[in-house]
Amino acid sequence: MLLVSEPVLGTEETSALSEVIESGWITMGPRVRAFEEAFAAAHGLSDCIAVSSCTAALHLILLAAGIGPGDEVLVPSLTFAATANSVMYVGAKPVFVDIESLDVPLISPARAEQLCSARTRAVILVHYAGALADRAAWRALANRHGLLLVEDSAHAVGVEGPGTIGDAAAFSFYGNKNMTTGEGGVVTARDPALLERVRLLRGHGMTSGTFARLNSRTPHYDVTLLGFNYRMDELRAAVGLVQLAHLPAWNASRRAFSRLYRRLLDRVCPDVRVPFSDERASSHHIMPALLPAAADRDLVIERLRDAGIQTTIHYRPVHHLTLYRERPDIGPLPVTEEFASRELTLPLHPKMTAADVEHVVNALATALRT
């Protein structure tokens, strides 16, 4: 089965894990700090904080910024549920915003402006598929309304830009991402004070961690605020350091396969639309394709699976999920709903070959014809 996504793991990761185990120190320590420094340097950032997941990163950003009950946060519905859930975690209200268009399935600045109210405190941008949101448009909107601008950069690891568009950003290293630590995430922020608050919050609000107390030869610490157990461990950080070194090459492969998909789909499946222009900065995390409106997507999925090809959907809109759909105040999101009803995610990962891409496109053409 040709999978939608497949991590690249090998002997380097095995050796890195063995070194951690042999060191006798597996909880948060020097490798986590080394990973933070390497990740920040690779993305042109001054610093970052490693946490247990991108969801934890989003939660901590909102919490550290003082977002809470009575506040509203603008979010796209075309995203994973964690984007909206993180707003609920702090007691605020997610307000769903439509996407720009079928060709640019990113949260719309124009629609967001219309939904701003006296209670709007923040907006979470999602770099869907790894394609970057418009920096100028969002900075202008945030400045006009005094909003905290948060980047959900779960899809956008390894591309220049994320972490510099907004006031803070959250990255993901889940198993299907461009680089992985199994589970894990990173927080970046412009304001050093906000970043230090996140650092405290990720570890129970403790003024020192276990490794720091070992080196300082004192067991004493304080708890200054109500924090969480959102730490990254040494095992994940060790894998992350290995993965980070390969990320530029892996992203280059993704970019090449994405461009090949575009050329072949244009020739073999002209009725299938590919979002975003080829010039837009992107990590090429996934390969979304928009099927013709009349196509039976479930039947196409079944036929592709019979051909040995896994596909999936990004995403079922969050406002359609049971947790959210019964809320009476969700406005119409027609572009999101049309995009979500036609989107099909095709395989894209560095372990593929050009022949794999050709196989997918030809199988898709056959599935659409029959």
Tokens of 271: 């009725």
Reported as type and span, the H/E element at residue 94 is strand 93-97
Tokens of 2: 């040709």
Q: How many residues does the chain have?
A: 370
**C-alpha pair distances (Å), 355 with each of 171, 176, 273, 352, 359:** 31, 22, 21, 8, 6
Residues 6+ apart with CB under 8 A from 85: 55
Burial (0-12, 13-18, 19+ Cβ within 10 Å), 145 = middle
Query: Max alpha carbon distance in the chain (Å)?
Result: 72
Tokens of 142: 């945030």
User: One of 43, 111, 121, 177 is an active-site residue; which one?
Assistant: 177
Full 3-state SS string of 33-58: HHHHHHHHHHCCCCCCEEECCHHHHH
β-pairing, 168-172 vs 148-153, is parallel
Give me the residues paired with residue 153 across strands. Answer: 171
Whole-number Å distance between alpha carbons of 297 and 316: 13
b/e code 257-275 from CB counts within 10 Å (16+ = b): bbebbbebbeeebeebbbb
Task: Please provide the DSSP assignment of 321-338 as one string.
Answer: SHHHHT-TT----HHHHH
Q: What one-letter code names the amino acid at 51?
A: V
Closest CA to 116 of 145, 93, 149: 145
Closest CA to 283 of 253, 310, 260: 253
Q: Is 351 a catalytic residue?
A: no
Supply the residues annotated as catalytic.
Answer: 177
